[in-house]
Amino acid sequence: MARLWSQVAVVTGAGRGIGRAIARRFAAEGAYVVVVDIDVATADEVVAEIRADDGEAEAMVVDMGDTDAVAGMIQRVAETHDALDILVNNAAVTRNIDFFSVRPEDWDAIHRVNARGLFFCMQAAAGAMRERGGGRIVNIASIAGKGYSGTSNIAYAGSKGAVIAMTRIAAHALGRHNINVNAICPGVTRTDLYYQVVRERAEAAGRLETEVMTAFDGNIPIGRSNEPDDIADLAVFLGSDEARNVTGQSWNVDGGLMWD
């Protein structure tokens, strides 16, 4: 039996990268997947990929920083399917900025999606799950939130630290409603976001992109960075009944970069 058979799952930022990998794996495990992204073209592409593999999915275009739109999306999913079993809060933004160059507008742009948007999506989803007897929430944080020094910038690291803290608080608040809340903390993961940060860092330091990538990988004890599927594997477990008594945890998938 597929591990997420007949579950209704919302995956945010699912148009590419880690979110896309999670959406595709969830569908392969039998879930009906709502592919949420700000970019309609990539969201539609992922839905087409899932359907081509005989999976079930639909696209919804939502800016995760727009709390009204987020609440409307959750309400629509829950009412249409009379279910919302799994939320994967994955959408996030960042860029390479050094410590002294972070401006208030950078902080706001990053926290608007990564922390504020994630919380209000979790709040709306938890409300729908509570009415239906429970559910599972997987927040995609980052090892940056645990102090990984290779982070793209300090405001991003702060937003991911907020995700880890909110995961714990939410697990306490929602446990009695049979809602599990866990976080995944990816390390270096080869997605468009990673290549964007590599490009920006190479440009800022006057180095080759290959040198920056070698430096990233050189610090990883296991000697290789993640593919998006490395994160999807853990997301399937945390979204399934196998994880029914696991809550409030923040799981690193990073080849051994961080220990806590």
Ligand X SMILES: NC(=O)c1ccc[n+]([C@@H]2O[C@H](COP(=O)([O-])OP(=O)(O)OC[C@H]3O[C@@H](n4cnc5c(N)ncnc54)[C@H](O)[C@@H]3O)[C@@H](O)[C@H]2O)c1
127-156: buried (b, 16+ CB within 10 Å) or exposed (e) per residue?
Answer: ebbeebeebbbbbbbbbbbbebeebbbbbb
Nearest to ligand X of 224, 244 (CB atom):
224
What is the DSSP code string of 162-196?
A: HHHHHHHHHHHHHGGGTEEEEEEEE-SB-SHHHHH
Q: Find the shortest distance in angstroms from Cβ 245 to ligand X.
A: 25
Considering only CA atoms, which of 258, 150, 164 is closest in space to residue 197?
Answer: 150
Q: Which is nearer to ligand X, 5 or 195 (CB)?
A: 195
CB of 256 to ligand X, least distance (A): 15
Q: Which is nearer to ligand X, 92 or 171 (CB)?
A: 92
32, 156, 194, 195: which is the annotated catalytic residue?
156
Sheet containing 250-253: which strands, arranged edge to edge?
56-61, 32-37, 8-12, 86-89, 135-140, 179-186, 250-253
Joined tokens for residue 112: 């608007």
Distance CA 3, CA 9 (A): 13
Catalytic, 156? Answer: yes
Q: Which residue has the CB atom at the shortest distance from ligand X?
A: 17
15 versus 239: smaller Cβ distance to ligand X: 15
Distance separating alpha carbons of residues 253 and 28, to the nearest angstrom: 21
Nearest distance in Å: CB 180, ligand X: 19
Residue 139: both structure tokens together:
């927040």
Q: Give the footprint of ligand X on this chain (CB under 6 A).
A: 12-13, 15-19, 37-39, 42, 62-65, 90-93, 113, 140, 142, 186, 188-189, 191-194
Contact 107, 153 (CB under 8 A): no
- Our CB check for ligand X shows the closer of 55 and 187 to be 187
Q: Which residues are catalytic?
A: 156
